[in-house]
Amino acid sequence: MNLLMMMLRAPRPSRISDMPAVAMPRWIRRGYDGLTFFGHIITHTRQEADAFNRGTSEGHGASFTMKNHEMIHLYQARATHDSWLCFYWKYFIFWLKACRYRKHLRNAGYLLNPFELEAYVHMREPDYLARHPEGCTGWKTYASMPLSDRLVLAMNALNLHTELTRQDSVQHDTHKGSQCQP
């Protein structure tokens, strides 16, 4: 299935209970493990897709954490009027606003994005989704925080101190060294 068909055929977020991972290396930036795209998780390789798909049943470990991160984005989309378009629009606006902090953190548009902060802070909690069946809304709290506070949160959640010192763009895995978009 190509990206356009994924978009056109995507059910509303609330009608999706699981997101299959598929390898589509042309559509994901290097340095990121996965990309939630209208109910699918896009990865670089088949092996990475398999790791995401295993994450469903394992319930622990890196695969679960990676999968849980993406599933939190699905649940966030449920909380944005149950609309993928609304979710991505908000994501883009948050990204633009957070880019103002690029002088402090090169990847600020991504790492200080309220949707990402919620996913990173809670992706290791096995019951996080079950506690929010109507949708994850933690991003609203982060959205109301100044970027300086979000930077502190991101540093703690992602252990960014080393990367900040190196002025690196944090191409390390959130879930053990890489990142997911969104």
* Contacting residues toward Zn ion, per CB under 5 A: 116, 119, 180, 182
Minimum gap (Å) between residue 76 Cβ and Zn ion: 9
Nearer to Zn ion, 33 or 151 (CB): 33
For residue 133, the one-letter residue type is P
In this structure, how many other beta carbons lie within 10 angstroms of the beta carbon of residue 14?
16
Nearer to Zn ion, 53 or 178 (CB): 178
Which pair of tokens denotes residue 61?
């470990």
Kind of pairing between the strands at 32-37 and 40-43: antiparallel
Minimum gap (Å) between residue 89 Cβ and Zn ion: 16
Minimum gap (Å) between residue 168 Cβ and Zn ion: 19
Minimum gap (Å) between residue 174 Cβ and Zn ion: 8
Residue nearest to Zn ion (CB): 180
Spatial CB neighbours of 115, under 8 Å, sequence gap ≥ 6: 73, 76, 87, 90, 91, 94, 139, 182
Burial of 167 (0-12, 13-18, 19+ CB in 10 A): exposed
Minimum gap (Å) between residue 181 Cβ and Zn ion: 6
Nearer to Zn ion, 41 or 180 (CB): 180
Q: Alpha-carbon distance 171 to 30, whole Å?
A: 9
Q: Could you tell me if residue 167 is left (phi over 0), alpha (psi between -120 and 50 degrees) or otherwise beta? A: left
Minimum gap (Å) between residue 69 Cβ and Zn ion: 5
Spatial CB neighbours of 41, under 8 Å, sequence gap ≥ 6: 19, 20, 21, 22, 34, 35, 49, 52, 67, 70
Nearer to Zn ion, 111 or 151 (CB): 111
